[in-house]
Amino acid sequence: MRRVGFLLKVRQDKLEEYKAHHKKVWQEMLDALRRTGWRNYSLFMRDDGLLFGYFETPESFQAALAGMSKEEINAKWQAFMAPYFENLSGAHADESMVELEEVFHLD
């Protein structure tokens, strides 16, 4: 199982809305994430909007993203969530995630 960490930045003026949407993620989106191998998926956010995401996947970060890119519901979710992020330069959030290098792990 591969552990993946990534960063994104949520717009300061959209923090509360962003959190509210993640209290009720669309069931079809949750199903797609599970179907494409996203496990133990968590999002953590600082007060300034810096977002840290973590998930585990059987293959790689790229394979997990590729699986989601084939899901129609993902395109809808990404378009819906795009206004909440900074510095996407026209891309969706899942195309702008910065993968972090794992430097330590304790089981």
Average pLDDT for residues 91-106, to the nearest whole number?
A: 85
Q: Tell me the backbone φ, ψ of residue 41, rounded to 5 degrees.
A: -80, 125
pTM of the predicted protein model? 0.89
Enumerate residues 6+ apart whose C-beta is below 8 A from 71: 32, 35, 36
- Using pLDDT thresholds of 50, 70 and 90, give the confidence band for residue 2: very high
The 10s digit of each residue's pLDDT in 57-81 is 999 999 999 999 999 999 999 999 9
Average pLDDT for residues 26-30, to the nearest whole number?
A: 98
45: left (phi over 0), alpha (psi -120 to 50) or beta: beta
> Which domains, from first to last, does the chain contain?
2-100 (3.30.70.100)
Query: Across all residues in the chain, what is the average pLDDT?
Result: 93
Please name every residue paired with 100 in a beta bridge, in sequence order, or none if there are none.
5
Active site residues: 22
Answer with the residue of higher pLDDT: 51 or 98: 51
